[in-house]
């Protein structure tokens, strides 16, 4: 399996487990490879600090862990940071948090990062929902990124694979009809009875990536979601690893 949605770092609102625990989970559940991004970078003013921490943590495990950069287009020097993430830190993709970093996906300031991602063949992930809004027990609430805006981003940059992370059942439909060919989503928060079967029927297995959202979610939830779904083996295999490998040229 290839887990396309793993984070590493601290979470301000409750204790979370670290990469060591995730590596053990990989062994236990048969996860061969994973994409990891910095959770600290969600809250740092300068997410590049989080990217640098992540690169150091991931370095001993490069045979299993691939890292993506978290960047914000409204922070000076972000395009240089992307180059450093790619060329210096060996990162292979980009994760955007528009609602935590307070910008819109339609903001022209995002364009240089998207162009650079396209030039490098990077997938760009957009974290739609990261927390259950009902459990944001604090003054500052962070809304979910509407799937429609992620769909618009995919249409604006047809050469960039755009991966929506954390969409719920019923939300991919909002990304437009027809969905852009370069629009994909992960399984992490997509849940109802029979969710995988209906998702494959509705959208095709080629758009769906296994994602755990570790450490906010337990690392087994999405493994079992996929393992126990009544899917054709070819579809299960595509979601489990084939689509991730295709996106990353692995």
Partner 1 sequence: MPQAQGWRRCVAGRRGVHSWAMVIDCHVHIRTAEEAELEGLLEAADRAGVERLCVSSLGRVWSEFPTAQELEEAADDVLEACRRHPERLIGAVYASADHAETSVALLERHVANGPFRLLKLWVSQFMDDPRLNPVVERCIELDVPILAHTWVKATGNMAKESTYHHVVNMARRYPDMKVWMAHVSGRWEETGRVIRDYPNVCVDVSGGEPEDGIVECLVRHVGPARIFWGSDAPGRSFAVQMTKVLAAQIPEEHKQMILGGNVRRWLHV
CB-count burial class (<10 Å; 0-12, 13-18, 19+) for 110:
buried
List the 208-209 sheet strands across, edge first.
Answer: 69-70, 94-96, 124-127, 162-165, 183-186, 208-209
Span interacting with partner 1, options 23-31, 37-45, 55-63, 106-114, rule CB under 8 A:
23-31
Q: Which is nearer to partner 1, 174 or 218 (CB)?
A: 218
* Residue whose CB is less far from partner 1, 135 or 249: 135
221 touching partner 1, by CB under 8 A: yes
Identity of the residue, 31 or 42, whose beta carbon is nearer to partner 1 in the bound complex: 31
Integer-rounded Cα Rg, in Å, for the chain is 17
Q: Is 212 helix (H, G, I), strand (E, B) or coil?
A: coil
Q: C-beta of 15: minimal distance to partner 1 in Å?
A: 7
> How many of the chain's residues bind partner 1 (CB under 8 A)?
43
Q: Is the dihedral of CA 172, 161, 80, 61 positive or negative?
A: positive
Distances (CA, A) of 233 to 157, 178, 240: 32, 26, 10
* Contact flags string 126-165 toward partner 1, x per CB under 8 A: ------xxxxxxx--x------------------------
Contact positions vs partner 1 (CB under 8 A): 1, 14-17, 25, 27-32, 132-138, 141, 189, 191-195, 214-225, 227-230, 240
């Amino acid at each position: 399996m290839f887990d396309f949605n793993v984070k590493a770092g601290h979470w301000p609102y409750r204790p979370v487990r670290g990469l060591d625990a995730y590596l053990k989970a990989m062994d236990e559940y048969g996860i061969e490879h994973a994409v990891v991004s910095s959770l600290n970078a969600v809250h740092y003013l300068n997410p590049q600090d989080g990217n640098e921490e992540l690169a150091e943590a991931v370095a001993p495990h490069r045979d299993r862990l691939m890292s993506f950069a978290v960047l914000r287009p409204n922070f000076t020097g972000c395009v240089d940071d992307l180059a450093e993430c790619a060329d210096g830190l060996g990162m292979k993709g980009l994760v955007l948090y528009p609602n935590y970093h307070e910008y819109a996906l339609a903001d022209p300031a995002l364009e240089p990062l998207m162009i650079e991602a396209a030039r490098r063949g990077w997938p760009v992930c957009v974290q739609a929902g990261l927390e259950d809004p009902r459990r944001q027990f604090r003054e500052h609430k962070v809304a979910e990124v509407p799937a429609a805006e992620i769909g618009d981003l995919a249409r604006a940059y047809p050469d960039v694979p755009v991966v929506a992370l954390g969409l719920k059942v019923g939300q991919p439909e909002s990304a437009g009809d027809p969905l852009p060919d370069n629009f994909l989503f992960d399984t992490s928060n997509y849940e109802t009875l029979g969710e995988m079967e209906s998702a494959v029927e509705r959208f095709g297995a080629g758009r769906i990536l296994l994602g755990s959202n570790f450490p906010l979610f337990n690392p087994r939830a999405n493994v079992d979601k996929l393992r126990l779904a009544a899917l054709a083996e070819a579809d299960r295999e595509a979601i489990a690893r084939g689509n991730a490998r295709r996106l990353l040229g692995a």
